[in-house]
């Protein structure tokens, strides 16, 4: 649904992009408020036919489904869910409505309910390739690989001619690191449907993981021939070129991926590695930093950034030292230098075993000093008194 909306936008063009005369196609307006009003107007215009149909017949399932599709296109997922549930109340076994309900629930991160919708759909239409694909993706995302594998095997036992089920099995096996088995599953899917681009892509990744890069390139090219607008496939092909040290080709493929999906951290990482391989390290650093702005937790990009920074003479340690120099050096607390309070008291106040004896000794010493000082004074007074008596005689 969203892809249809995107292709429509590509046909009509971006209203803010200048035309050949250098003028934009959007009518003049003030600020972002005008843009919001325009988006609101587009929503109302798209909803209007559905509302008119529902006014005539509140049980028009097609009108409810149309309304749900409009809300989905505008990413109003809660409103879309309410509308598609109204459609399902009228036609509870409509596979298209069940698929859309499951997809909307996924956007709302309600995966368990989404799985229930997809399971119900597969009971009605077990040959729905896209349903098997999206259902397997949910199970793998929740690391329920064994459950996904068993389900796909049960399905293939019942009907071995479902290309989507073979693809789903291959995807689970690849996630489990069982690449040889995954390739067999992908090949089975491709024997049933040569135009299943995702099966070619899955096979290419498995071949790459088994260090068979030439075969991987062939498989990626087959996928791109069917669907040339898949950024993930271009990135995969770029990584194979990197493995073969074909940096110019890797740069071309990753740049193509970025033109399709500018917010792909993997594409910017691939471009950064390719530029580094071409000794364009300043540009490489910029690409890797762009990847990390998109995904700050991208471990491979972090390692690559450190490596490229080192080539440019920008040591990460030096950066850390500069940060340390900028920080004010805090004074060490005096309390960290002091002895325990009990020790200080023992030393300064004499709280120990010999405290009484030491105090008596100090007092006795003080008395001796005082007597020593007083003796000359007494002798002098006595001598003076003797002189006075002799003078009187």
Give all domains of the chain, ordered by start, each with its CATH number: 246-315 (1.25.40.10)
Residues 308-326 pLDDT 10s = 999 888 865 544 344 334 4
Alpha-carbon Rg of the chain, whole angstroms? 42
pLDDT at residue 40, as a whole number? 80
Contacts with 301 (C-beta within 8 Å, 6 or more apart), sequence order: 265, 268, 269, 272, 288, 291, 292, 295
Dihedral, CA of residue 150, residue 156, residue 157 and residue 159, to nearest 10: 150
Torsions phi, psi for 142 (to 5 deg): -95, 15
Position 379 confidence tier, pLDDT thresholds 50, 70, 90:
low
Q: Is 210 helix (H, G, I), strand (E, B) or coil?
A: coil
Torsions phi, psi for 128 (to 5 deg): -80, 100
Position 43 confidence tier, pLDDT thresholds 50, 70, 90:
confident
Residue with tokens 């559905």, as numbered in its chain? 50
Residues 273-294 pLDDT 10s = 999 999 999 999 999 999 999 9
Q: Which of 7, 18, 15, 20 is nearest to 42 (CA)?
A: 15
What b/e string do you get for 232-243 counting C-beta neighbours within 10 Å, with b at 16 or more? bbbbbbbbbbbe
Tell whether the torsion through CA atoms of 162, 163, 164 and 170 is positive or negative: positive
Dist CA 375 CA 380 (whole Å): 9
Instruction: Look at residue 334 and tell me whether its pLDDT is greater than 80.
Output: no
Q: What is the pTM of this model?
A: 0.61
CA distances from 120 to 82, 138, 144, 377, 391 (A): 18, 15, 19, 120, 141
């Amino acid at each position: 649904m969203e892809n249809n909306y995107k292709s429509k936008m590509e046909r009509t063009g971006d209203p803010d992009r200048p035309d050949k005369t250098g003028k934009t196609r959007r009518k003049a307006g003030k600020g972002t408020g005008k843009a919001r009003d325009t988006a609101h107007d587009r929503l109302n215009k798209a909803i209007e036919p559905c509302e008119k149909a529902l006014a005539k017949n509140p049980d028009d399932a097609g009108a409810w489904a149309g309304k749900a599709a409009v809300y989905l296109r505008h990413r109003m997922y809660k409103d879309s869910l309410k509308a598609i549930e109204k459609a399902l109340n009228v036609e509870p076994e409509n596979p298209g409505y069940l698929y859309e309900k499951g997809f909307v629930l996924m956007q709302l991160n309600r995966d368990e309910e989404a799985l229930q919708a997809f399971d119900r759909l597969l009971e009605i239409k077990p040959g729905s390739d896209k349903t098997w694909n999206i259902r397997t993706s949910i199970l793998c995302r929740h690391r329920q690989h064994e459950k996904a594998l068993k389900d796909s095997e049960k399905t293939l036992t019942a009907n071995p001619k479902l290309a989507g089920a073979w693809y789903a099995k291959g995807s689970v096996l690849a996630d489990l690191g069982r690449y040889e088995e995954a390739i067999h599953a992908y090949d089975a899917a491709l024997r049933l449907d040569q135009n299943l681009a995702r099966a070619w892509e899955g096979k290419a990744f498995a071949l790459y993981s088994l260090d068979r890069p030439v075969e991987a390139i062939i498989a990626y090219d087959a996928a791109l021939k069917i669907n040339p607008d898949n950024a993930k496939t271009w990135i995969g092909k770029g990584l194979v070129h990197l493995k073969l040290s074909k940096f110019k080709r890797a740069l071309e493929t990753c740049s193509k991926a970025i033109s399709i999906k500018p917010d792909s951290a993997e594409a910017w990482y691939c471009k950064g590695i390719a530029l580094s391989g071409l000794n364009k390290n300043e540009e490489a650093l910029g690409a890797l930093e762009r990847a990390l702005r998109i995904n700050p937790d991208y471990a491979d990009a972090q390692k690559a950034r450190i490596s490229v920074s080192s080539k440019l003479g920008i040591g990460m340690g030096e950066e850390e030292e500069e940060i340390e120099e900028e920080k004010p050096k805090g004074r060490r607390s005096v309390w960290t230098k002091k002895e325990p309070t009990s020790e200080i008291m023992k030393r300064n106040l004499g709280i120990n075993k010999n405290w009484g004896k030491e105090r008596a000794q100090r007092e006795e010493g003080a008395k001796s000093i005082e007597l020593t000082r007083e003796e000359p004074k007494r002798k002098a007074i006595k001598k003076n008194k003797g002189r006075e008596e002799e003078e009187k005689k």
